[in-house]
Amino acid sequence: MHASVCEFIPTKRGTYKLRVGNATFWCGTGVFNPGQVNKVTNWYCSKKKTRKCKVVSRTLAGHLLDVSGEHTH
């Protein structure tokens, strides 16, 4: 899966999820600020634990860099 459009979704806990296509991802660092300019952020598939999905997305300055792996669900 690769899509050039991503969306940052605020959560109830005050953090963000990343949406790429139909998939959602959680921030690997635990804290994400959409205004971060020079930091690459790793995002892990929301189904990483329950479905052992190993897809990882990376963003830089709020823009999608790449999506690696195949979803297992």
Confidence of residue 73 (pLDDT cuts 50, 70, 90): confident
User: How many angstroms separate the CA atoms of 21 and 11, rounded?
Assistant: 18
Domain borders along the chain are 6-68
What pLDDT is stored for residue 3 in this prediction?
47
Task: Render pLDDT for 4-39 as a digit per residue (tens, 0 to 9).
Answer: 678 999 999 888 999 999 999 999 877 777 777 788
Say if residues 72 and 44 touch (Cβ distance below 8 Å): no
Give the CA-trace dihedral at 18, 23, 26, 27, to 10 degrees.
-50
User: How many angstroms separate the CA atoms of 42 and 47, rounded?
Assistant: 15
Look at residue 2 and tell me whether its pLDDT is greater than 50.
Answer: no
